[in-house]
Structure 1
């Protein structure tokens, strides 16, 4: 089954590089390119892609608003992978809150970016560890470290608590599996259980819950 991808970035060089890499991959196909958020929203509606690789800083409508509009539109199932220059970006938390399923940085290896597209297309979420740290730092700034009342984690096992802690530190399913000496499939099962038991929409919300429960902090 081919994963249909729309590339949204105001830099043609970035779009061309990604398109050339994807052209040699059997299970991925670039079906459209957008130079700004408004065009990305239009293409998502017209082409019904599986994944939109979205830049944040674009002229006119930015990637955050485009992500919000695409994920709010019930007419398609497009999932968003935000790809941006992290060190210059103040919009990490906003993009994730807008509904992005992945958040990556442009200095990552192309193979990792392609892998992230596959992960997101399969219904999972993926966040670069550096972005997870930024998310926790933003939470710390908006909600000072909780030294008293913390969120209670009822109904989860000790192993699930371990997995939640590792999610909160930004580890991928593969890294969690390696850390706990379990299979990737088992790690995914634990993630699914946590999402259900904690009534979390996605991996981003699990990171927030891990912070609110005191399992992770800005320094951990």
Structure 2
């Protein structure tokens, strides 16, 4: 059996049922699980590179209104700058690096290494994921619940960014987008909170300018 297919079969047998219990549906390859409603799209991906033998766990959440507003604003900026428009909705929250999220949920990320790990044999798979994947899936289910409200998304974005020296520019843009959906007053308040926090002040100038560019564009519409 193809190695990637064998890995996905093992992951499906051990973790697929957990995701399915909460409404996630696997694709044919069993490397992506998703829930789509009229309001949002959640995806959990088990990404395996045959070239490097790296297994990578990724979580993505799109609030459909926020995702559309985000890409509309981004395309408006791209057109003004002479760049091509993009078609796909932007995730409202995405985890490719789990360090901050594990920390936020009280785990020592240094002990949670299975989210991005070398898998050379099927026998290694269970050993390398057993202390990471169950906890990660619990977090995903909790995030899905929190993200049912705009305030819940904002709360997680702010808390995640409070852990670091630098603000994540992509997260800051999503904070502004979600705040715009709430009200103009919330947009202005969030922007003021962003530009006065230490994480923003630690950003290089181009990062600060990118955030301000999105704020100014959101303010115009």
The normalised TM-score by structure 2 is: 0.29
Normalized per residue, which structure has more helix? 2
The normalised TM-score by structure 1 is: 0.29
Larger radius of gyration: 2
